[in-house]
Structure 1
Amino acid sequence: MAERYRFPEGPLVDVAWLAARSADVEAGRIVVLDATAQLGAPTPQERYPVASGRPLWEEEHLPGSRHADLLDELSDPAAPYHFSVAGEDRLGAALARLGVHDGTLVVCYDSGDGSWAARLWWLLRDLGVPAVVLDGGLSAWRAAGQPVTDSPAAPPPDGPPVRIRTDRRGWASLDDVVAIVEGRRPGALVCALGEGQFTGAEPTRYPRQGHIPGSRNLPFGGLRAQDGTLRPRAELRAAAEEVVGAPGATPLTLYCGMGVSAAGLALGLVAAGYEDLRIYDGSLEEWTADPERALETGPAR
């Protein structure tokens, strides 16, 4: 049985922290997962051209890492939208294939802007699996002069199955969001997309433009520094308080297009000290599919 690894404080680790623990990665006490997926520009034929990021992982990745398939293996194939939350049995089996067992710590990263890694981190966090995000991802790892490889992943070690938490509360459904919009449930809706997409001034891949009525706007992109890492905690806190108030002021339900940038926003908010958070899993892909569901344009009221 793997030794239970001490969970780092906060949702992030930096390159130096992970580089110093290569022996723990090799021993299976730390499992490093690349969560990259590929989202192309919308076309007249396909609004959501999404593909696995495994080919990118095969080209180069952190030594000892494996690719986590958010698109298929870690999602519900029966859901009407992408990157849906799968059931416990499917998730447990997928994590076992990745070498994630009871007592291991998962370090999530990606080769993009960090939102894929954040989506995996949020999924694991909701399951009760210890997980952190490598701040800055593959870009930060390479910038620090750390090695990358194209070697196949070693077979994952055997171990006891992960203990999945039964009181999962990290996700909001369509009904939950409708209840907030109609004032039947407390909380604020927060859109993680850029201002232009939020107001409807810029085109999106969705059938209709704008945001869910009553939403506030805190773009995930604004929480990142120029090097791709998250901004310092004090800056994150100040940016968040300007939009949603202090931690604990109200429950927050985050959304974006497909629940990915919203996970990046969740990562920034948790790093800033916020805890009462959920992600609307279907996000605008689900909301805009029904023309009867209202959308607002313009700035937040």
Structure 2
Amino acid sequence: MDRRPSRRSPTGRPGRHRPVALPPRYDGDHRSGSGHLRWTERHLPGSRHADLTGRLSDPEASHHFAAPSSRAVAVALARLGVGEGSEVVTYDNGGGIWAARLWWTLQAISVPAAVLDGGLAAWEAAGHPVAVGTRPELAPTGTPITPVPRPGMWTDLRDVAAISRGERPGTLVCALPAGGYAGTVPTRYSRRGHIPASRSLPGRELLDSEGHFLPVPELAARIDAVLGSSDPPVVLYCGGGVSAAVVALALTLLGRDDVSVYDGSLEEWSKDPALPLEPGG
């Protein structure tokens, strides 16, 4: 994460810097760890490592990467040197999904933020230098941010279930790859399949092979083919609320503001055998 000022749109061509490590596992075996070590090996000069498994997640939640309280985010940002008036640029080396997740977390409390389109790879490809090693943790400086929560940015299990049953308006969209949506590949979660009534829009298919978002006309065409004239709000989910943030960013780039992320996603949903999951595409 870079705390230098930016007045860009949600993405700018000068994310891939992986802030979280997800070793390959099988059904029901979800483990994660901080990507701090990889950050020390290569990162943008002046950047700080934002740990989505540590201070930027809720340790009391039943699922990984859960959004912490607004106050906890503000405290975590202060430790990274982000204070009132700062504008944040996020990046990663994981295809942009982690940078998008952090961006969404900051958007939810009204912190000005952008995502570096293409991430660390794009930075290096443009000929910019990288840094190595660690930097000492900053003591909170300046005026801490005052978080201003934005309603509707997060959706909980109860509301998702109501949308799935047709009891309240909204359109559910799964951001997992097609195999994850269909339940035909191993998953990190306890059961396979997708939430009933949800549509498939894989987040990574909105990026090119270098991790850049597709050109706007192509991006709009792919999204419109799935959403069409869907009922608002668009509620996005995936396995743990990370890939969903990529789709949220893409929709924001296209000017939509009726978007929400189901934070618990399939990790939370699949734990309750009473909640249905459907196989197939």
TM-score normalised by the chain length of structure 1: 0.87
Which residue in 1 is equivalent to 2:277?
A: 295
CA contact (8 A) 1:97 1:156 kept: yes
One of 228, 235, 241 as aligned partner of 1:245: 228
Which residue in 2 is equivalent to 1:198?
A: 181
1 CA distance for matches of 2:5 and 2:33?
Answer: 33
Matched, 1:283 2:265: yes
Which residue in 2 is equivalent to 1:116?
A: 98
Q: Give the drift of 1:277.
A: 0.5
One of 155, 167, 173 as aligned partner of 2:156: 173
Paired residues for 1:50-129 under 5 Å: 50-129=32-111
Which residue in 1 is equivalent to 2:219?
A: 236
One of 202, 205, 208 as aligned partner of 1:225: 208
Please state whether the residue corresponding to 1:133 is helix, strand or coil.
Answer: strand
Which residue in 2 is equivalent to 1:7?
A: 7
Q: Give the drift of 1:7.
A: 3.0
1 CA distance for matches of 2:161 and 2:213?
Answer: 31
Larger CA deviation: 81-90 vs 122-131: 81-90
* 1:79-99 CA-partner distances (Å, limit 9, x unpaired): 000000111221111110011
- CA separation of 1:244 and 1:64: change in aligned 2, threshold 3 A: same
Larger CA deviation: 229-238 vs 167-176: 167-176
Please state whether the residue corresponding to 2:62 is helix, strand or coil.
Answer: coil
Structure 1 alignment gaps of length 5 or more: 16-31
Q: Percent identity of the aligned residues?
A: 47
Aligned residues: CA RMSD: 2.1
Q: Give the drift of 1:167.
A: 3.9
Please state whether the residue corresponding to 1:66 is helix, strand or coil.
Answer: coil
Which residue in 2 is equivalent to 1:158?
A: 141
2 CA distance for matches of 1:56 and 1:35?
Answer: 7
Please state whether the residue corresponding to 1:128 is helix, strand or coil.
Answer: coil
Larger CA deviation: 252-261 vs 173-182: 173-182
CA contact (8 A) 1:92 1:162 kept: yes
CA contact (8 A) 2:97 2:246 kept: yes
- CA separation of 1:264 and 1:167: change in aligned 2, threshold 3 A: closer
1 CA distance for matches of 2:237 and 2:273?
Answer: 18
Structure 2 alignment gaps of length 5 or more: none
- CA separation of 1:141 and 1:5: change in aligned 2, threshold 3 A: closer
One of 166, 179, 189 as aligned partner of 1:183: 166
- CA separation of 1:281 and 1:201: change in aligned 2, threshold 3 A: same
Query: Relative contact order (alpha carbons < 8 A, sep ≥ 6): 1 or 2 greater?
Result: 2
